[in-house]
Chains A and B, each alone.
Chain A
């Protein structure tokens, strides 16, 4: 039985002040009422800041991208030949298989300034994929493809580490993104996977 009168009083309106016995207010202390207002203001402020990072600056979390059958995923392209594919000037796709207990490939070498779309899936258990010192951080779940795009602007080695428990070899499951200065990487070795670029690309297109 909801009581309109009571609900009225519940609002943070002036009726809530004081200690009128018959109106059954909440009797909120004025200081506490201000604290509650401040809390709401703080939350709105934080949330706006979060929304800016997520939507204005485009720092996004993983979304729903594509489903695959974990039992057969490694039998078909592109996952049959995981690795790096060059799709444009300083643009790459990296198909990474996370499986007990290694990443394939375990090394990705790219010139500094490259934008890489990383696609990860698992044929067996759940794994994690986090590239140290970057915002690339995603779960790897059998049946799903995790997709994230990132631009590597600093030269150096960036380990990618499995951060979800996956059994015996979990603590040793990692790989490295090697970001090398421009010109040190010859074009051929920049492409470690797939039969040809074209084939990989067309597969990609189908899946979209």
Chain B
């Protein structure tokens, strides 16, 4: 009786009952303790972002010869140590804590009930935090300068690997808490469609649990024993295959919470409705299925993986583009619906009718605009031999600063503009400054990202302090300077963001009616009209499993059965001390 996929006896009768409330228990609100619990996730996340993001502009300044690393000397010994901090804190820590915190909120608020087993989520959170500390210490002491991909045989301290494992395991535990809560809700609501914002967040957690099996196996069977001295060598190619099993779905783990907000919250924020409940759900299920079996598109240039599998994964990666294109239509149409309802006119003139003065809305709209270009770059990267033009060049960071560092991060910033005041019982400090933050991010990122893309096409490698590389030709200089200018504008944006968040959190408590509420969008069509199969985990999980076996099974079997643990790495510490 507790499984999520409790069969529904007579779906046709029950599901067309349109008197079912569209917003589950609107009177339900998180208790102060629950708000504090979510708040802790967000606090850790934003702190990580503030520290991690500081390194970004410093890296970008290095590109045009402004070397600030001597001033960081007491802690940060090199560009690479800073880059490790930047990648781990931003892409792994900030995202994971924010996403899990946000999923706590959308689960509770969406379902209109508290977590069924809050203690599970507490254990999960503390596990994640313990892991973060364990990972942070070796990074800061320069004993894990291996970047956030930690490719062996670069060898980090064992604490780094164990810490990362704990962060992942903690997020699994919190995910379990969400499933149990959803199952409890479903037991009380036979025949009722799961509220979208809760379902979306939980599908994302399910996808993440499947996806992270890759690095879990990589760390537990290879890297951790190796760093502890139990085994002497690694199999670097197998490690790469494990890593990218997790590495690509990781990007969808970052993105889907932004999609939850774009589909399930933003329409409400702009005074409209979700254009299509069915397609919103379909998109999430498709992401669950196709996000994972595509990892070889990160290994197009790897020796040791046959071209056939690379080509198959290229095709599968193309299929991930499909739900994103659905998202593009549905979200833009929801916005247009809202604008027209409020008198918006013209083919594009309606865009001006949207509430651009609301920093939360502006952030998400601008994030969406830049994500279109992120999508174009992504399709290019995935296009098999086209990858030869850009693989491991500056194009790649140029690309993912539009996706994770803008589509996800700028959307999360937008979300935080209502969520942090909501959790703290405050008002947003200076919406004007928040707007400046949002627009500076947008402008800075356009300059930064465009320059990085161009540098990549010219052949500039990534993960490289280009300001001191001997092979840099004259013609790159203008673009390197643009990277620094973009980075400078982004630095201003980050600082404003931190300041607005701090002032908001420390601001005075205000009366309840001045505190923002959680925006939950209705769909134009009643969700009870959405087919039942768009509300079931089982068929989609089975499909995901089958596709994984087909798309990854043979190559994994080949690499695991022919495993060669023969790469010891260097007998000295290979990074600068």
Contacts and interface: CB of A to CB of B under 8 A. Distances in A.
A and B touch in the complex (CB under 8 A): yes
Interface of A: 1-3, 6-7, 9-10, 19, 21-22, 24-29, 31-32, 35-36, 39-40, 43, 46-47, 50-51, 53-54, 59-65, 67, 69-71, 100, 124-126, 128, 130, 132-133, 135-147, 159, 161-168, 170-172, 174
B275 interface: yes
A150 to B, nearest CB: 11
The 8 closest A-B pairs by CB, nearest first: A167-B574, A163-B461, A144-B303, A26-B278, A163-B392, A132-B459, A142-B567, A146-B303
Contact of B530 (A26, A40, A61, A124): A26
Contacts of A70: 566-568
Nearest to B12: A22
25 contacts: A10-B531, A25-B531, A26-B534, A31-B329, A32-B275, A36-B326, A39-B321, A40-B322, A43-B321, A47-B315, A50-B314, A50-B383, A54-B384, A61-B384, A71-B233, A125-B570, A130-B391, A130-B459, A135-B388, A138-B303, A143-B304, A144-B302, A167-B575, A171-B469, A172-B469
A128 B460 CA distance: 12
A66 B512 CA distance: 68
A27 B196 CA distance: 16
Contacts of B333: 29, 31-32
B60 to A, nearest CB: 15
A163 B278 contact: no
Nearest to A7: B533
A206 to B, nearest CB: 19
B218 to A, nearest CB: 14
Contacts of A143: 235-237, 304, 564, 566-567
A100 B305 CA distance: 24
Given A69-B564, A71-B566, A22 B576 contact: no
Contacts of B282: 26
B557 to A, nearest CB: 14
A44 B379 CA distance: 13
Contacts of B464: 163, 165, 170-171
Given A27-B530, A161-B459, 8 more contacts: A32-B275, A36-B329, A43-B322, A63-B303, A69-B564, A124-B570, A132-B458, A135-B388
A20 B279 CA distance: 17
Contact of A21 (B16, B307, B314, B325): B16
Given A26-B278, A64-B305, A130 B567 contact: no
Interface in B16-60: 16, 18
